[in-house]
Structure 1
């Protein structure tokens, strides 16, 4: 009797002299057929094992496999065949019932010859760099039960529904991340035993079709009672979740997160007695949170965060959720007001007053709510995010194993000493955010044992004193101490922080000169903000060596002398491919946390998160800089407008106002066709503003306080580019004698103007409130105009 052969290269079993044992029957009386033995030797000789560990094999796949007439199972997954296509001769292996080629680095078009494998039951091509314009070839796989084409490029395969769902025996379908586009049709065919359907990460843009829920409609796919896994997340689906979802009685996983669904969560969700995961996060769902959720006794994971749900969450909502391990509900409009005697039926989620229980948790995220009270101890082992609440009192004690602690935007007070110094070793913590609180005192000098810390944000508190010497024992990617009351010169030990990508010391009282070693040692800096301090001296030429610098803010200091001509070496400010800048890859910590930064762009302060790597700016305003604007800056800014304005990646903002710059605006500035904020006001610039450029689109205020002429200013130029009033009178209008009524008028204007503007200029809280009010008024006007235009 002939025994079917099975070949697996994960792990690599084709070892000599154990070759025959690997592919032949265990019966010692059965010997390897000589032709098959030779075929396998040829197959093996064309493979390369670079690690010498029988893993990640390379090389070529020899057609000698065709001599294995009874080969039924072939597994070449998890290898590195990056230089070859899937061999066409695979379509001649007629006995195959199992073919697994996943994560093997195959590329190119999927061979239609695979459609000849009429006995195939299992086909896994996922995780390769494959593509197909049509899936008609699958129609020949009439016995197929498992199909995985994940990560293939199927955006041209408009016939995917027609051919895949003609296979009535399919139990599992994985088409995730396969570039599918358009709507999901409302008819898939008659697939009565389907259990898994994964369409995650595509560009499907219809509503969820009713056939996925209906059991009785004639045109639906039949009895879907056996479906256990339904994942449609990360698409562009709209519409509502149908009431008939409750009829999927065997459903264990339901994930429609990151879509555009609206309406309410159906009450029928409570009928899904087998449901273990329910994720509808990042949609536009509204209404109240249904009480029927409390009937899901099998539920382990519940996420309805980032929606528009409102109302009160009751204890009844969680009455039978005894197996719940994860609950994410942030960024809604919900209130949870449990009775103080309530004991949750689960172990891992807790209301505010529940934070001090002795039970140890792994993950806690209660961010962006209105929770209040004091917290003495956080018994959480891995991740804590309590940001954007109303917690008060001293900082809580935490476990030494904690990786991420985010307490931003609360009202915690007191010092940092207890958290930083009177605790066990913190060598595991990666992220520490305590910004936007009421923390006071010095930063303690006890950072020696925080070896793993990557992101440190202590901004917007009431911290005083100098920078702690031991702070530079850390191997930080980001340090943010902005908006405190710290002082002193920058310590030389800062140059030991070689991996810094972002350094923000703005809005403090630091003094001294900007050290040259910032450009020499901190070579990975992408964001450098020393704004609103007392730095003096000149801009060191070494800053020009920062090849990754994209945001430079030295505004509102006492810096003097000229702008270095070497600024044209700041190549990252001109590159059009910032998403590939490797330093911004460090902004992602453990795949769930993005670095954010407050940047002053276009005259206002805004926070940037996931798009931070696309923003470019330079602000040198309100200093004592002298000399001409170097033409080299114009060379730095040269670039083209990308095809999609949404992907515009070149410099957006340049502010050189309130200095002592002289000379003309260099003609090379004619290439500034990508800026949306430009300000050179209150300098000593002369001559004509370069014409036929975007410079004419900026407001007159961007040029006032100079001796400039030409559009957008009303002051005309002579043929030599000199303002007419200077050419005609030999001096500027500011130098002419004027009558006393005009003096009085000017003084009145100045007093009135600065009576309003000065507080906005010098008082930060007034300035922020003013901009917010303008945004509010603009929002109302926009709604009015939009309504009138309907």
Structure 2
């Protein structure tokens, strides 16, 4: 027993000793020892960096292989990987939102900055280097980066480097991944990509955002990379896709991205030999002509983006043979013809956008495929199909996440089966011919819906219960010109996340409910105009939004007084209401207001001086109110003001000379009590409308009108006390199409050059005016057949000369008959002689009392 016990103890001790030895060996192999030279190099590198967020706080002690972002070899201890990618997710919209200071500060703090110390070269075995999403603003990419002989992965994307890409990177002969992408556009540039041809093992090359406008040889350089699978040259100012004299060598290419360049050349034939291509993006260029039939060769394509070009023929049927496509974007081209129902054979599609083209025929019937093979379609967009269609085709697309068929001629009612689209997040049906009732059934299972747009369907009526609680929480609501009223829609009370609400012209005739101010006081975009909503204006809270808020409440029955504005409002329109009292005094320097429209109310008091402090103001419309007093001298301090409308108030006194400092495009002072001489506006080089009628201005017709106003189209000096002759300098205004000098004290003759007004030679009734924005005060009075009318959207068609009720003498110039675009000529109340040709039938002519020779 003693012997066996002793043996047991000996074996036990030996077993324990063996375990200790094994454990010791295991620890020694797993505990990597940092190489002193490399630790010193990393410490020097760290000292040259700025690390406000403390991301490198672990870089202390002797064991650098345990530092955050460092990976060492388990065998040698050499640093193999240095990953300093900024871990903070980058939100482009939030970063560029100057009002979202909290996020900007948070992201900026998380960025590494400072200088890149060449001590890194002591990391002899470094294979992976990632400095992406940091901020080395103003720094060039160090040339010493080309000395990392073992580097396989280099990522400097969105690190805000600038300057030329050093060709020394071409020395990295083992490199497999190179990412220099930069959406801080074109900070980096390269005049040649010859250095790329040395990177023979390269698989992934991303130069998006790097200016390559002068790199004519880019294709030859890339063609020498046999293992290349991904090439991204988006937004690089590339102007052409060159031809190749031989078959491409980079046949392993899987992804080719040439979006957002200035390419106008045709798609070359060699591209269709890239049989392995899975993703091809060419959006946002200037390519014209047909979409090549040869796309049908690229049978492995899953992503094809050709949007925002000028393709102008029909869609080739060969595209419908690409059965692997999951993404197809042909939007914003000039494509024509019909879309074959064969498009439903693209069974794997998840995204399809054909919006903004010139298609004819009907929207394809996606319901004809008996296999329902489009069940996974996420996004569907059509636009401008000219034949009437209905929405029955949607019934089988149960996976739809986005549906956009706006701006078509879709008619009939909306099927109640829409309510079964449980995955739908965005529904865009605006500007069609839809009619009938919209009920709770249409939304019954739309739990994910966040964007709802049915605007400009004038026969669409919402008929939902006042107790209805929708299953969704919307962010965007666009229902303009549908019928929601007469009561204010109570279901809007339940939508607590809305950033955009547009319910203009919806037949609401009701008092604004008490809950509206609480739910919508921070909304980004609000348009409830052109209804009959009564009550006091809501109070809006600070929201710190960008784009800055737009609040449009015009053409209702609001009363009471104005409320102070939040500082982040860009546009504030409460015109055509019954708002009274003074404009509340605010600190104008805190406001970002660009457009203020308060016209056609009952406002009174003096011109508020704080408006002069709003340097961002471009449009100020106070017309048709009861403002009194004088214009302050500070009016000229609103340095960006381009439209000022003070029509129909009781303002008086002289106009401050400082008004001439403003870059005015449109000035309306009609029907006030202003007096004195009109100050010089010769610095307003692009003045288009000048209406100072019905005041008490004196002096001669200002000569600067003809000398400097080359863009003046509408001039009204009527009903003032101007005297002297009609200056020939007016004939130097080539764009003039309305000249109203009636009811002044003018003498002398009509200058013969008045028949040279080139804008009155054109028949404006046949011209389409697409660019003139007259929504904000762009109006002017004109007297036709003795009736004064105010022209707004029809202003471009107003061509008129009115010199009536002056003391003009002499003959009527013969060349007036050459003004074939003239719609009104009024010479009455003068002492004119002569004859107007009887066959001149273009104008309404009024000149009673003249003496015929």
TM-score of the pair, normalised by structure 2: 0.70
Aligned residue number for residue 121 of structure 2: 66
Q: 1:687 to 1:733 in 2, by over 3 A?
A: closer
1:626 equivalent to 2:652? Answer yes
Q: Is 1:47 the equivalent of 2:49?
A: yes
5+ long unaligned stretches in structure 1: 1-24, 214-221, 574-615, 638-650, 717-730, 735-752, 775-779, 782-790
1:413 equivalenced with 2:426 (yes/no) = no
CA shift for structure 1 position 146: 0.8
After TM superposition, give the deviation of residue 102 of structure 1 in Å: 1.1
Alpha-carbon deviations, 1:232-257, whole Å to 9, x = none? 11111211211121211110111111
Q: Which residue of 2 aligns with 1:465?
A: 534
Matched residue, 2:505: 436
**2-structure distance, mates of 1:323, 1:661:** 68
Q: Deviations over 1:112-168 (max 9, x none)?
A: 111111121111111163111111111211221110111112222222223223323
5 Å-filtered alignment, 1:638-787, equals 651-667=664-680, 669-688=681-700, 689-691=702-704, 693-695=707-709, 698=712, 701-708=715-722, 713=727, 732=745, 754=783, 756=785, 758=787, 760-761=789-790, 768=793
Call closer, same or farther: CA 1:390–1:174 in 2, change over 3 Å: same
- 1:481 and 2:519 matched: no
Once residues 308 and 371 of structure 1 are traced to their aligned partners in structure 2, the CA distance between those partners, rounded to angstroms, is: 21
Closer, same or farther: CA 73–628 of 1 in aligned 2, 3 Å: same
Output one character per residue of 1:299-333: Cα deviation in whole Å (capped at 9) or x when no partner. 00111111111211243467331110111213443
Shift of 1:458: 0.5
Give the drift of 1:287: 0.9
Deviation at 1:101, TM superposition (A): 1.2
Query: How far, CA to CA, are the matches of 2:713 and 2:521 in structure 1?
Result: 50
The runs of 5 or more residues in structure 2 that have no matched partner are: 1-26, 57-85, 87-110, 404-412, 731-743, 748-781, 800-819, 822-853
TM-aligned CA distance change 1:172 to 1:464, over 3 Å: closer
Counterpart CA distance in 2 for 1:49 and 1:341 is 54
The answer to whether the 8 A contact 1:392-1:411 is kept is: yes
* Cα offsets for 1:639-678 (capped at 9, x unmatched): xxxxxxxxxxxx32222223222111223x2212122222
Separation of aligned partners in 2, 1:49 and 1:471: 40
Inter-CA distance 290–353: structure 2 relative to 1 (3 Å threshold): same
Contact 1:457/1:481 (8 A) holds in 2: yes
Q: What's the counterpart of residue 256 of structure 2?
A: 197
1:81-92 to 2 correspondences below 5 Å: 81-92=136-147
Question: 2: CA distance between counterparts of 1:487 and 1:451?
Answer: 16
Alignment match, 1:264: 314
Q: What does residue 354 of structure 2 align with?
A: 304
Classify the secondary structure of the residue corresponding to 2:358.
Answer: coil
CA distance in 1, matches of 2:457, 2:164: 52
**CA distance in structure 2 between the aligned counterparts of 1:26 and 1:388, rounded to whole angstroms:** 75
Aligned length: 643
Deviates more, 1:429-438 or 1:373-382: 373-382
**Residue 744 of structure 1: aligned partner:** none
**Per-residue deviation, 1:227:** 0.5
Greater mean alpha carbon deviation, residues 465-474 or residues 538-547: 465-474
Quote the residue 1:587 is aligned against: none
Give the Cα separation in 2 of the matches to 1:244 and 1:467: 64
Counterpart for residue 118 of structure 1? 173
- 1:768 Cα deviation from its structure 2 partner: 4.8
C-alpha distance in structure 2 between counterparts of 1:457 and 1:617, whole Å: 22
Query: How do 1:359-508 residues align onto structure 2 when only pairs under 5 Å count?
Result: 359-360=421-422, 361-377=424-440, 378=443, 379=446, 381-394=449-462, 398-399=470-471, 401-421=473-493, 424=494, 426-447=495-516, 448-450=518-520, 452-461=522-531, 463-469=532-538, 477-484=549-556, 486-491=557-562, 494-495=563-564, 497-508=566-577
Deviation (angstroms), 1:297: 0.9
Distance 1:30 1:148 in 2: 34
**In 1: Cα distance, 2:726 partner to 2:385 partner:** 47
- How far apart are residue 518 of structure 1 and its match? 5.3
Equivalent residue in structure 2 for 1:102, among 157, 172, 193: 157
CA RMSD of aligned residues (A): 3.2
Taking the TM superposition and a 5 Å limit, the aligned residue runs for 1:269-284 are 269-284=319-334
Map Cα deviations across residues 564-607 of structure 1 (whole Å, 9 max, x no partner): 2211121232xxxxxxxxxxxxxxxxxxxxxxxxxxxxxxxxxx
Secondary structure at the aligned position of 2:450 is classed as strand
How do 1:159-308 residues align onto structure 2 when only pairs under 5 Å count? 159-182=217-240, 185=243, 189-213=248-272, 222=273, 224-308=274-358
Distance in 1, Cα, partners of 2:354 & 2:689: 39
